[in-house]
Amino acid sequence: MELIDGNTIAASLIAELKAEVSSLPGRKPCLALVRVGDDPASVSYVRKKEKTADEIGLVGRIILRPVGTTQQELEQLIDELNADEGVDGILVQSPLPKPLDELAIFRRVSPEKDVDGFHTLNLGKVAQEDDSGFVSCTPAGIMELLARSGVDLKGKHVVVLGRSLIVGKPVALLALQKKTGANGTVTICHSSTRDIGNLTRQADVLIAAIGKPEFVTGDMVKPGAVVIDVGINRVPDATKKTGYRLTGDVHFPSASERADKITPVPGGVGPMTVAMLMKNTVKAYRLRHRTGH
């Protein structure tokens, strides 16, 4: 069994981006990171993104707004960032506090600056196999992990657990594309799927993004499969100082006994998501300034 180490793969991607950014003329690419409120997970995610941007040589501009921010105020802020020539990419940290309409905010971001890849236009470009758009960071990170681990999806049965707009749907579309590394045969499973284990056992590549801790057990994995665990769940654990431990959507001890390759949690898909956000920001800068590779 081989562990797919997301930290190592993300580090090599970050090193490549750092070299690319250092060779860019003029100002450096700028990523605006918008955070509303003080959700502890959001605080740490934004800090990590800012730190990675800094490491690469990007400008990470953090914009904080209080919990009581209205939809109108947030939309006005997005409009200002859309119009700001010094900003290449905009990320609005999810989840937004209630009662803000997250989808409306994602759609408000200009498609050319939507480095999170959630805009309707960018999702549509994935479906049309148009490379000029932005692929959302977690699905893009999964494809990068597979490619850099020598996993070609051509002709393979890819089973995706979960149908979210953030992971399930876009990763299924990417695996289907007529492109090198893709060309997979894709099945999407969700909460209404009957006999889910019967389908997961057919998977050459199993992508678990269902949001249920340790849902996928070893008996649901085909021997020799590649398992990508997208989940990140906090489960109570009295032995830990924090009182909890982080676990994925896959029961790692039993699944790793049958899988040929598997991602850990943490240290698998997570670091790739941040690295792909940086890659999208550099791409946004290049598209806006028309600087070729």
d(CA 164, CA 124): 15
- Is the distance from CB of 259 to CB of 220 less than 8 angstroms? no
Q: Which of 88, 114, 116, 249 is catalytic?
A: 116
Catalytic residue among 88, 93, 204, 261, which? 93
Q: Is 116 a catalytic residue?
A: yes
Full DSSP string of 110-160: -TTT-TT--SHHHHHHHHTT-TTS---HHHHHHHHHHHHTT---TT-EEEE
Catalytic residue list contains 49: yes
Nearby residues of 27 by Cβ (< 8 Å), 6 or more positions away: 59, 86
Q: What are phi and psi of 33, to 5 degrees?
A: -110, 110
Which residue in the block uniquely carries the two structure tokens 């953030």? 166
CA distance linking residue 81 with residue 87, whole number of Å = 7
The answer to whether 93 and 35 have CB atoms below 8 angstroms apart is yes
Catalytic-residue membership of 101: no
208 and 161 Cβ atoms separated by less than 8 Å:
yes
- Non-local CB neighbours of 104 within 8 Å, separated by 6+ positions: 71, 75
| 105 vs 92: CA distance, rounded Å | 8
DSSP SS3 for 177: coil
Q: How many residues are present in the chain?
A: 293
Residues with catalytic function:
49, 93, 116
